[in-house]
Amino acid sequence: MKITILNDDISLKRQLEQGNEQQLQTVREVIQQVRTEGDAAIKYYSEKWDGFAPENLRVSEQEIIEAVKNFDKQLYFDLQEAADNISLYHNEQKRSGFRLPLADGSYLGQRITPLDAVGLYVPGGSAAYPSSVLMNVIPAQVAGVKRIVITSPAGNDGKLPDAVLVAAHILGVTEIYKVGGAQAIAALAYGTETIAPVDKITGPGNIFVALAKREVFGEVAIDMIAGPSEICILADETAYADEIAADLLSQAEHDALACAVLITTSDDLADAVSDQVEIQLSKLPREAIARKSIENFGHIYVAESMKEAVRAVNSLAPEHLEVITENAEKVSEMITHAGAIFIGRYSSEPVGDYFAGTNHVLPTNSTARFASGLNVDDFIKRTSVVYYSEKTWKQNSPKIARLARLEGLEGHARAVESRGWDKGEEE
């Protein structure tokens, strides 16, 4: 890996592919066809791109039963425990509304209500991502969403991976469709004969999925347009080079565009980690992908002080941050911008990816400066409530009318003044 003295110019903002005109045009055509032709368009594109046109888009109860029956028992219990951990954490995020009493029985308030329906996209095809099911479904369930839909592309055998179906089964989700790509996003946004539309779409996907989510935003809500994975490790001389290298590669193996950065105050650690990365790369099953990531977006920066290193981390605002230093918890308290923070030697980033309970759907490309990871709040609405008694209205209507006229809005002023005092007693 490249080793450089830290300067003020480091950045995670990469010139990433946001979709060329041809890809965008393809996505727009798919969305339009799904809107006009419904299920027929979904089957057409599924066969064209996935090699499989399902006769029935919805996964049957029997398919779920078979997946559970064939699944490894220990892995089932592991997924169940992970789900329990995620539920425990996200239940702490639940919020309730409030009522602020005013004089004479008047009040202001806020009501919290869940979304009616959400669609969760799970990447598929040649790989299985049951963790995506857990991370997207559980906060929606905790929020109280009544209808949760999963879409995922089927493999060449016309089936979804057992692991995805088992994760859904553990959570009690049964509305699952064998639909992937931009056509899945269009179906969730606009509906078809088989798939009823939803209010929000979450979950990662390829460039076509990302572009489709961007296109339908406004018709429905979306979680975010996430970029390739990122990890930044803040470490000093107390860290172990082989462990740091392994953690860097845990994200580099995701994608050739993934970013893995070490910021350290130790020259010796920088050299040792660089050597370890090369040693471990040669033994990694996804070496080709990880090597491209490390060569293009992997870097080691050496800072003169921990204060300088922390300033650099906050400037990067990484998706994942590991703090492996002396007094790691105290150092972590100086971090203001990171999607998720992993403190200490034993809090390796994959702990959060799969099991600890925090959510792994996180802001990328330095957007942690202003964005948060997926959470229960993403699946609720906040509705403000106003109740004025007659007495409170009488006291304040002249003030409100004056403010309305200050802005030149006579209709607003008259609306307040129209409640004449001689129209009877307050109900």
Which residues have a Cβ under 8 Å from the Cβ of 171 and sit 6 or more positions away? 83, 133, 134, 137, 138, 141
* 110 assigned binding-site residue: no
* 183 annotated ligand-binding residue: yes
Query: Going by DSSP bridges, is the β-strand pair 380-387/107-114 parallel, antiparallel, or unpaired?
Result: antiparallel
15 a known binding residue? no
407 is in an annotated binding site: yes
Residues in CB range of 192: below 8 A, 6 or more apart: 34, 38, 39, 41, 42
Any idea which residues carry the catalytic annotation? 319-320
Cα–Cα distance measured from residue 180 to residue 65, given in angstroms and rounded to the nearest whole number: 22
Is 353 flagged in the annotation as binding? Answer: yes
Rounded Cα–Cα distance for residues 277 and 410 (Å): 69
> Is 412 within any annotated ligand binding site?
yes
Contact of 247 with 233, CB cutoff 8 Å: yes
Burial class of residue 422 (count of CB atoms within 10 Å of its CB; 0-12, 13-18, 19+): exposed
The rounded distance, in Å, linking the Cα atoms of 60 and 176 is: 8
Residue with tokens 């509906």: 191
Cα 331 → chain centroid = 26
Instruction: Say whether 242 counts as a known binding-site residue.
Output: no
DSSP track, 333-401: TT----SEEEESTT--HHHHHHTSSS------TTGGGT---S-GGGGEEEEEEEE--HHHHHHHHHHHH
The reply, when asked if residue 121 is annotated as ligand binding, is: yes
What are the beta bridge partners of residue 222?
201
Q: Which helix (H) or strand (E) holds 24?
A: helix 21-37
Spell out the alpha helix ranges (H) of 199-286: 207-216, 241-252, 267-281
C-alpha 348/C-alpha 353 separation (Å) is 9
Q: Residue type for 26, please?
A: T
Say if residues 168 and 64 touch (Cβ distance below 8 Å). Answer: yes
Binding site members for NAD(+)? 121, 183, 206
Binding site members? 121, 183, 206, 229, 251, 254, 320, 353, 407, 412
Binding site members for substrate? 229, 251, 254, 320, 353, 407, 412
